[in-house]
Amino acid sequence: MVKAVVGANWGDEGKGKITDMMAKEADVVIRFQGGANAGHTIVNNYGKFALHTLPSGVFYGHVTNIIGNGVALNIPLLFKEVKELTDRNVPTPHIMISDRAQIVMPYHILLDAYEEERLAGKSFGSTKSGIAPFYSDKFAKIGFQVSELFDEELLKEKVVRICELKNVLFEHLYHKEPLKPEELLETLHEYRDMVAPYVGNVSAFLDQALKEGKNILLEGQLGTMKDPDHGIYPMVTSSSTLAAYGAIGAGIAPYEIKKIVAVTKAYSSAVGAGAFVSEIFGEEADELRRRGGDGGEYGATTGRPRRMGWYDCVASRYGCRLQGATDVALTVMDVLGYLDEIPVCTGYEIDGEVTKEFPVTCKLEKAKPVFVKLPGWKCDIRGIRNYEELPENCRKYVEFIEEQIGYPITMVSNGPGRDDIIYRESAL
Ligand code: GDP
């Protein structure tokens, strides 16, 4: 059976924690899109970790952790992350890398940085991990597939051809040092030797695993709002963040995905530029940011302070719909315990009309939030394991959101740890 854990919002919803928790029951955890531009924070018995490239199943000895073909694979970072784990006494994880995954090249990272520099104030807020140049090249059909590392003739010819092309930009647009094909070839040889023991035919492996009745977990990065088609284009990421893409980015049939857990946080946060309708500012935002997540809402990869907002039912309903949520996990509920009352965004006012349907970006820019205020519960809910034991106002908050978004909230997370979870029967 295949399950997916994906984000219903802008990312940073706590997917890492939910995946780590669900990975206990999984045989395979697979990353199917994205790259090292975002991080998943995981707290477990080994300590606190920020994973960027590795699947969140790496803390379990019984899990095969797969880098799917849809991923932007940064090879040195992958191995750096493995070393960070083993240095902290996590047993060496089982890893498999798709022979069809493509490689983030050193020039993708340079191009990302040079382009941000060139755009200056008008930048997209890229994390400069090379993700946009990587996916541009993949679809322009000039990317390097892992399998190509093992074909020396092909590699030699292609390196020369690509450097010629990239150097036009390096020299004439960005006025930087040109790339040297011999150096690039040497780097690719190093990459080949690093990945060689782990490369495999992932779709064949998964096909076999499915025939054997194994449990497979697809792990998404970011969330619906960052999807290039259905998100807040152009302030999006460059690969699809939707569960549907899990079939493509892993190499399985779409109908195999039986359970889709859309993760949504009990308040909102976003990184980078773009419309963020329920955003809050000033002291109100600072306090939520300080108290948020596990040690504050700051980027797991960049350390950037995240933009903060109240819960957005319009974005989340749309977010769950596009993910095809069979289950919703509402996370970080414990953080809201300090508030007397909690605003929740239930509609967008656009040109004088209130809508509950998430609009296209040019309309989104004009949207103003419609808030309702729910009473707070004013206590610490960490440690509670039964839904009925939550304070009444806390349950009302969960039930209000469930009714607004129209997808069943079956899990409420009330702390960063693996066991900080409350399962509930949805009323829907
Ligand atoms: P991801 O990319 O979706 O995995 O999100 P992040 O890595 O940004 O995770 C959100 C942060 O919230 C991390 O620091 C988690 O440890 C933390 N976290 C996850 N669930 C909970 C929760 O229920 N309560 C609290 N307080 N923190 C949580």
Ligand 1 atom closest to Cα of residue 223: 3
Residue nearest to atom 14 of ligand 1 (CA): 294
What does the pLDDT read at residue 273?
A: 84
- Three-state SS for 427? coil
* DSSP line for 43-66: EETTEEEEESSS-TTTT-TTPEEE
Q: What is the value of pTM for the model shown?
A: 0.94
Give the distance (Å) from ligand 1 centre to CA of residue 21: 12
Q: Over the chain, what is the mean pLDDT?
A: 95
What does the pLDDT read at residue 9?
A: 97
The residues lining ligand 1, judged by C-beta closer than 6 Å to any ligand atom, are 7, 11-17, 38-41, 43, 293-294, 300, 331-332, 334-335, 413-416, 420
Residue whose CB lies within 8 A of the most ligand 1 atoms, among 41, 127, 338, for a mutation test = 41
* Cα–Cα distance for residue pair 365/350, rounded to 1 Å: 9
Say if CB 220 and CB 7 are below 8 A apart. yes
Residue whose CB lies within 8 A of the most ligand 1 atoms, among 9, 10, 17, for a mutation test = 17
Ligand 1 atom closest to Cα of residue 12: 5
Render pLDDT for 123-144 as a digit per residue (tens, 0 to 9): 666 678 899 999 999 999 999 9
What does the pLDDT read at residue 125?
A: 63
Burial of 214 (0-12, 13-18, 19+ CB in 10 A): middle
Spans of the chain below 70 pLDDT: 121, 123-126, 300-301
Residue nearest to atom 9 of ligand 1 (CA): 14
Give the distance (Å) from ligand 1 centre to CA of residue 38: 13
Q: Does residue 234 have a cis bond before it (omega within 30 degrees)?
A: yes
Ligand 1 atom closest to Cα of residue 13: 3
* H/E segment holding residue 350: strand 341-350
Residue whose CB lies within 8 A of the most ligand 1 atoms, among 294, 308, 336, for a mutation test = 294
What does the pLDDT read at residue 309?
A: 98
Give the distance (Å) from ligand 1 centre to CA of residue 291: 12
For residue 91, CA distances in Å to 53, 62, 193, 352 come to: 17, 11, 22, 58
Ligand 1 atom closest to Cα of residue 39: 2
Residue nearest to atom 18 of ligand 1 (CA): 416
Residue nearest to atom 23 of ligand 1 (CA): 332
Give the distance (Å) from ligand 1 centre to CA of residue 98: 28
Burial 80-109 (b: 16+ CB within 10 A, else e): ebbeebeeeebeebbbbbbbbbbbbbbbbb
Catalytic residues: 12, 40
